[in-house]
């Protein structure tokens, strides 16, 4: 199966590529950003800027870009990976995308004789780097068979959600619905705690050991109090992901008041110019939030 191509070397893609290197694969890493290519080259990867170049000679491509448009571009554009992939190769689509997009992309790939796994991931940058992501995957048995050694290298858990692409992306939307609400709730809670005169380090410790805890609270409030900048992605990622959640909910006539409220908060933060900041920057929407956000520099 070697070489294998990883497209997108952000936090999750870089972690996956690193895990594949560690497992002994020859890894082609593709990214438009020179700084991300350099980081990858420094740990022994082959870094490239063009999907077709990266996919040449590979029977498997893992895609860790931001959305469906980018996923389709790196596959189907004039310099896309699909043009150079041999029949029967497998595409592992790991971006958070709409379930309908996953279904459509899989169908297009199938027409070209390629397999696809609809395989979004979760777990954060640290688990990605240690090869312990969670993968929520759906696709043909053949796709699972071909991608198996790769998934084992990057993931602690691979959930098989059936043979139909779309199920992986639907599960990922449930995860993002919760993650987005929990992140906004963590911001609201730490700002409230600041107004209540409580010390944030103590709040992080107490809540982490109480019924009010969440993965997001533990991870992102640690970011605030310990200056752990490895945690978190950007505010705009949740603007995008919660929009996907609400689009899907709308298509099922499902009212999601909490998901919608969290989405409004991320959009408000983005409108304030915080879109590219770490996602916990939405705490700055709240009274006491600027102070809470500055905890780490004290």
Burial class (CB in 10 A: 0-12, 13-18, 19+), 202: exposed
| Pair type for strands 121-122 and 133-137 | antiparallel
Q: Is 173 in the site for a copy of itself (CB under 8 A)?
A: yes
Q: Is 282 in the site for a copy of itself (CB under 8 A)?
A: no
Q: Which of 55, 61, 81, 171 binds a copy of itself (CB under 8 A)?
A: 171
* Chain position carrying tokens 């992102």: 220
Q: Is 185 in the site for a copy of itself (CB under 8 A)?
A: yes
CA dist 23 to 2, 90, 219, Å?
A: 11, 19, 27
List the interface residues with a copy of itself, window 110-169 (CB under 8 A): 122-124, 134, 136, 156-157, 159, 161, 167
Site size toward a copy of itself, by CB under 8 A: 67
For a copy of itself, the closer CB: 147 or 184:
184
CA dist 127 to 124, 170, 254, 275, Å?
A: 6, 22, 32, 24
Q: Which of 111, 229, 257, 298 binds a copy of itself (CB under 8 A)?
A: 257
Q: Is 249 in the site for a copy of itself (CB under 8 A)?
A: yes
Q: Show the site string, 22-51: x = touches a copy of itself by CB under 8 A, - = not.
A: ------------------------------
The CA distance from 90 to 141, in Å, is 11
Q: Is 292 in the site for a copy of itself (CB under 8 A)?
A: no
Cα 286–chain centre separation: 26
Q: Which of 69, 110, 198, 271 binds a copy of itself (CB under 8 A)?
A: 198
* Catalytic, out of 46, 146, 172, 267: 172
The CA distance from 39 to 37, in Å, is 6
The two three-digit tokens of residue 230, written as one number: 């490895």
The CA distance from 68 to 24, in Å, is 30
Q: Which of 19, 71, 176, 295 binds a copy of itself (CB under 8 A)?
A: 176
Q: Which of 85, 207, 242, 274 binds a copy of itself (CB under 8 A)?
A: 207
The CA distance from 280 to 295, in Å, is 13
Q: How far is the CB of 234 from a copy of itself (least distance, A)?
A: 15
Q: Is 172 a catalytic residue?
A: yes
CA dihedral (161, 164, 165, 166) positive or negative: negative
Q: How far is the CB of 126 from a copy of itself (least distance, A)?
A: 11
Phi-psi region of 24 (alpha: psi -120 to 50; beta: other; left: phi over 0): left
Active site members: 172
Write out the residues near a copy of itself by the rule CB under 8 A.
Answer: 99, 122-124, 134, 136, 156-157, 159, 161, 167, 170-171, 173-179, 181-182, 184-186, 188-189, 191-193, 195-198, 202-203, 205-207, 209-217, 219, 245, 248-249, 252-259, 261-262, 264-265, 286-288
């Amino acid at each position: 199966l070697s070489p294998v191509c990883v497209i997108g070397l952000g936090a999750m893609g870089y972690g996956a590529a690193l895990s594949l290197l560690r497992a002994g694969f020859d890894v082609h890493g593709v990214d438009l950003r020179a700084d991300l290519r350099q980081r990858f080259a420094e740990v022994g990867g082959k870094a490239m800027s063009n999907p077709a170049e990266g996919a040449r000679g590979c029977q498997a491509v893992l895609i860790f870009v931001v959305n469906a448009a980018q996923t389709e571009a790196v596959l189907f554009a004039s310099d896309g990976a699909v043009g150079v992939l041999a029949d029967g190769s497998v595409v592992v689509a790991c971006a958070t995308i709409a379930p309908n997009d996953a279904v459509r992309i899989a169908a297009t790939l199938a027409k070209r004789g390629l397999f696809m796994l609809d395989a979004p991931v979760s777990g954060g940058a640290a688990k990605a780097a240690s090869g312990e992501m969670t993968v929520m995957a759906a696709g043909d048995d053949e796709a699972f068979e071909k991608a198996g050694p790769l998934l084992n290298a990057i993931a602690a858990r691979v959930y098989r959600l059936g043979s139909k692409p779309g199920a992986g992306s639907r599960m990922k939307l449930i995860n993002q619905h919760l993650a987005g609400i929990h992140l906004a709730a963590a911001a609201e809670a730490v700002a409230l705690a600041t107004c209540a005169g409580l010390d944030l380090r103590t709040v992080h410790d107490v809540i982490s050991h109480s019924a009010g805890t969440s993965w997001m609270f533990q991870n992102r409030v640690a970011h605030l109090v310990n200056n752990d900048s490895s945690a978190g992605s950007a505010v705009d990622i949740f603007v995008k992901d919660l929009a996907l959640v609400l689009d899907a909910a709308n298509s099922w006539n499902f009212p999601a008041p909490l998901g919608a409220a969290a989405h409004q908060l991320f959009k408000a933060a983005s409108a304030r110019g915080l879109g590219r900041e770490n996602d916990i920057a939405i705490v700055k929407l709240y009274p006491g939030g600027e102070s809470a956000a500055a905890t780490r520099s004290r």
